[in-house]
Amino acid sequence: MDKIKIKFTFEVKLFLFFIILNFVDMAFNLQLKVYYFLVPIILIYILRNIGFSKKLGTFFFIYLLYILVLAFLGALNGNYYIYLYYDLIAFSSIFFALIILKFNLKYFYQYYLPRFGVYINAIAIVFTLYYISKYGFTVASIEEGRGLNDVREGQLMSPKAFLGVSLLIYPLVSYIIKSKFAWFYHISIFLHIFFSLAMASRGTTIVGIIVFVLTYMHIKKIKLNFHLFVNLKFYLYIVGILLVSVIFYQIPAIASATDYLLFRFTTESLGKGRTLEATTILNSLTTNELMFGKGLGASNTYWIFKHVKNGVNNAHYGWIFLILKGGVIFVVFIYGKILFSIFRLFKISKFAPYAICLIAFLMLEYAHTNFNNFLQLSWLFTLLFASNIAYEEKKNSSITY
């Protein structure tokens, strides 16, 4: 268990390369988006060496057909060609997730991937420490605000940006909890929560805590029912958490950030600007556009982005981003599959951590869309594949539950 055995195949090295490249791009503010130009070559390689499989299920074939339709619709509408290309690459990340078909699927999700996550966490921690050593970080306070003073060439950054991927994969620590390498997972999520608190970020602070608690409950086999609330251990845990919180609160920096975080919860409307953005976009769409979207490449030229040339290929809420591209049909299709997969994975105890990963993805969607990020979409499809594979393995009784 203590040995992390990972066979560094070409596909594994490729994925690590993209992760490191993404971190380098953020750390040095290169904004080159190199991987957007390398991805087509990689996708061709994957398709030639892996191909399709019945294990993908009907959902993925329908998804691919709809993406092709949206690409055609985007070209027909004359959407900005750069954004259309970026969207096509991002939504084609489903092919990148096909790398899992190169492995023994019985062990991929329960053994291989959790150990691969150790390397991802280690890389994220290294880049976080590098960023802090070079640029430092500030702590939020009621007097100074959120402390978002690190603005380099117009790009706003925070150390927690490097740990976002760590938050999405944290539940996988359940598979290596008895290993000394589990500490890479724990350190990553602790740093993520810490830096979220330091900048008084409501969304990521809450998501980090919820993901940590859900993962802990799964590891300890704690079920949320009536028996939990009549269990003495439950109240001892609560008292312990309160004591630890009080101790940490004595540190001035943490106290300052905590005070401002609470201040933001009580005085600022959560997501007011983002809701206005979503409402503005919805009101601008015709009935057909609301149902089917404007196609890939459709840009956000509304709200504060109305004067930006070609608009932006982004929207804060994930669901409005999907509506802009593929309409209500796209939202129902994608979110329906995610919710269905969460319920299916929770029914199979061995795969429950992947359900928590999907919950983390959805919660982060409330703060900022992940549907325009190639790597995070690759992770989403890997999670959705887990639902299919878990169901098949249970159905075929290849794993004892």
Q: What is the pLDDT of residues 154-174, one digit of tens each?
A: 444 577 888 888 889 999 999
Average pLDDT of span 66-76: 94
Cα-based distances in Å from 384 to 56, 243, 260, 338, 381: 9, 39, 37, 7, 5
DSSP states along 4-47: ------HHHHHHHHHHHHHHHHHHTT----THHHHHHHHHHHHH
C-alpha 178 chain-centroid distance:
25
Residue entry with tokens 């390689």: 45
- State the pLDDT confidence band at 203, using cuts at 50, 70 and 90: confident
Q: Which carries the bigger pLDDT value, residue 139 or residue 154?
A: 139
Lowest mean pLDDT among 49-53, 177-181, 354-358: 49-53
- Which of the pair, 187 or 105, is modelled with greater confidence? 187
303 pLDDT more than 70:
yes
Mean pLDDT for the stretch of residues 116-121: 91
Q: Is the pLDDT of residue 53 over 70?
A: no
Could you report the per-residue pLDDT of 240-268, keeping only the tens digit for each?
Answer: 666 766 666 566 666 666 666 666 666 66
**What is the pLDDT of the chain when averaged over all its residues?**
79
Closest CA to 214 of 172, 167, 171, 176: 171
pLDDT at 76: 95
Domain ranges of the chain: 10-395
Predicted pLDDT of residue 240: 65
CA–CA distance, 107 with 97 (Å, rounded to integer)? 16
* Strongest mean pLDDT among 139-148, 240-249, 302-311, 313-322: 313-322
Residue in the block written with tokens 């887990």: 386
Backbone angles phi, psi at 325, to 5 degrees: -85, -45
Please give the pLDDT value at position 324.
Answer: 93
Check whether 340 has a pLDDT greater than 90.
Answer: yes
pTM: 0.85
Mean pLDDT of 208-234: 74
Please tell me which residue, 354 or 166, carries the higher pLDDT value: 354
pLDDT (average), residues 17-45 = 70
Average pLDDT over residues 170-194: 91
**What confidence tier does 151 reach under pLDDT thresholds 50, 70, 90?**
very low
What pLDDT, on the 0 to 100 scale, is given for residue 150?
Answer: 45
pLDDT of residue 253: 64
Contacts 24+ apart (CB under 8 A), 39-47: 39/89, 39/92, 39/96, 39/374, 40/89, 42/14, 42/96, 43/92, 43/95, 43/96, 46/11, 46/95, 46/96, 46/98, 46/99, 47/95
Considering only residues 90 and 98, tell me which one the structure prediction assigns the higher pLDDT.
90
Provide CB contacts within 8 A for 91, sequence distance 6+.
67, 70, 296, 371, 377
Among 163-167, 326-330, 356-360, name the one with the lowest average pLDDT.
Answer: 163-167
